[in-house]
Amino acid sequence: MAVRVTSAPAATIVSRGRYSSWLATVDHKRIGILYILTSLVFFVAGGIVALLMRSQLARPNEHVFTRDTYDQMFTMHGTTMVFLVVVPVFAGLANFLVPLMIGARDMAFPRLNALSYWFYLLGGIVLYASWFSGGGAARAGWYSYPPLSEHAFEPGKGQDLWILAIHLTTISSILGAINFIVTIHNMRTRGMSWMRLPLFVWTIEIYAILILIALAELAGAMTLLLLDRQAGTHFFPPKQGGNAVLYQHLFWFFGHPEVYIMVLPAMGIISEVIPVFSRKPIFGYKAIAFSTVAIGFYSMLVWAHHMFSVGMPNALNIFFMLSSVTIAVPTGIKIFNWIATTWRGNVILDTPMLFALGAVGVFTIGGLSGIFLAAFPFDWQVTDTYFVVA
């Protein structure tokens, strides 16, 4: 019997150009670079807006911009720096470094990784497109407290687009956080136990967990605000029986973990840089690792220290004062361990080490001012002043 042999069709090879290949990439290094470059673009945009704001504040009674335009600028500046610069640039570094540090070939979900980047980029585009909407960009501040962000005081479409942009960047961060957690838990190379993880990876693990908890809650708050504006609900307007302080609780339950979402990866970088340029192993590895976990835990117990002036019961004021002071303990552990690492080490003051030591000094000064602000009688006197901003 004759047998007819047919060859399988050759696989179609899709060749992409040097630049177009980046648009469809699922490689963790390329996605990390895209995050970093995009965040730098938004950093420049946010910096330009900041310079315009300072031109208005350069002298008393300047009239460079109208009040509405100035409000739009500080809203866009704050939103840009928090949601489009600081958090995404660390997501980019983590995308690039975490698989390499734990011996994985890539992130656990490469396509989900790419999708999270495109949600981030789309969120940034929507935010800046809101400048051209009816009524201009949002002007209720990056925290968008009601009733200022309610339809009665902000009737333009800019506030709705701001909410949409926050939703998009939130989805991006949550998808990325899921990817980091699965990658770190399931794709470590053989023999890499938790107590052998690089300290930067420890901080990314807690960073991702905080994103999952805090940003999911922020998405809920933004949805309630959008329903107030578009569906006639009254969750927050006091005049209709809503509770504006409820929004503050929802926002700051996100807002304070967000502080450590931004700070923890930087602490991880410092923990990697200092031992290298001190020519010594890190002092107190376990203490630094567990202090990272403690910071993540306590960051979810201190949100209302932003709200001491709203008239909470004294029992709550005391609780949040004590929890705010307590969170200084694990951060202090890190600082003392970094200093101990340099002790009697062969310290090389190259640029990375100078940045790391400078960051430790600045963080210490800021942390000391935070201890003052944790005392609610003092906080009552300086709330909404430049002492808090500085």
Q: Specify whether 212 is located in the same domain as 266.
A: no
Residue 11 inside a domain? The answer is no
Residue 66 inside a domain? The answer is yes
Indicate the residue among 242, 272, 297 that finishes a domain.
242
- Domain residues for the domain of 120 are 25-242
Q: Specify whether 185 is located in the same domain as 277.
A: no
Query: Which of 223, 212, 287, 295 minimizes the C-alpha distance to 254?
Result: 212
Chain CA centroid to CA 100, Å: 23
Q: Specify whether 230 is located in the same domain as 259.
A: no
Q: Specify whether 266 is located in the same domain as 237.
A: no
Out of 33-37, 186-190, 236-240, pick the least confident.
236-240
Residue 13 inside a domain? The answer is no
Q: Specify whether 161 is located in the same domain as 219.
A: yes
Residue 115 inside a domain? The answer is yes
Tell me the Ramachandran region of residue 384: left when phi exceeds 0, alpha when psi lies from -120 to 50, beta otherwise. Answer: left
d(CA 365, CA 369) in angstroms, rounded, equals 7
Average pLDDT over residues 43-64: 93
Average pLDDT over residues 202-216: 96
pLDDT tops 60 at residue 13: no
Tell me what pLDDT residue 284 has.
94
pLDDT tops 60 at residue 4: no
CATH of the domain at 65: 1.20.210.10
Residue 2 inside a domain? The answer is no
Tell me what pLDDT residue 239 has.
87
Q: Specify whether 138 is located in the same domain as 234.
A: yes
pLDDT tens digits, one per residue of 295-339: 999 999 999 999 999 989 999 999 999 999 999 999 999 999 999
DSSP line for 376-390: HHHHHHHTTSHHHH-
Q: Specify whether 262 is located in the same domain as 200.
A: no
Q: Specify whether 209 is located in the same domain as 127.
A: yes
Indicate the residue among 197, 223, 242 that finishes a domain.
242
Q: Specify whether 50 is located in the same domain as 166.
A: yes
Contact 278, 346 (CB under 8 A): yes
pLDDT tens digits, one per residue of 63-75: 899 999 999 999 9
Residue 20 inside a domain? The answer is no
Q: Report how many domains make up the chain.
A: 2
Radius of gyration from C-alpha coordinates of the chain: 24
d(CA 177, CA 279) in angstroms, rounded, equals 33
Q: Specify whether 218 is located in the same domain as 292.
A: no
CA distances from 268 to 79, 90, 115, 274, 342 (A): 24, 11, 26, 10, 16
Q: Specify whether 71 is located in the same domain as 181.
A: yes
pLDDT tops 60 at residue 244: yes
CA distances from 248 to 150, 221, 303, 369 (A): 14, 9, 9, 23
Indicate the residue among 213, 242, 271 that finishes a domain.
242
Residue 363 inside a domain? The answer is yes
d(CA 263, CA 277) in angstroms, rounded, equals 21
d(CA 164, CA 127) in angstroms, rounded, equals 8
Residue 255 inside a domain? The answer is yes
Q: Specify whether 237 is located in the same domain as 259.
A: no
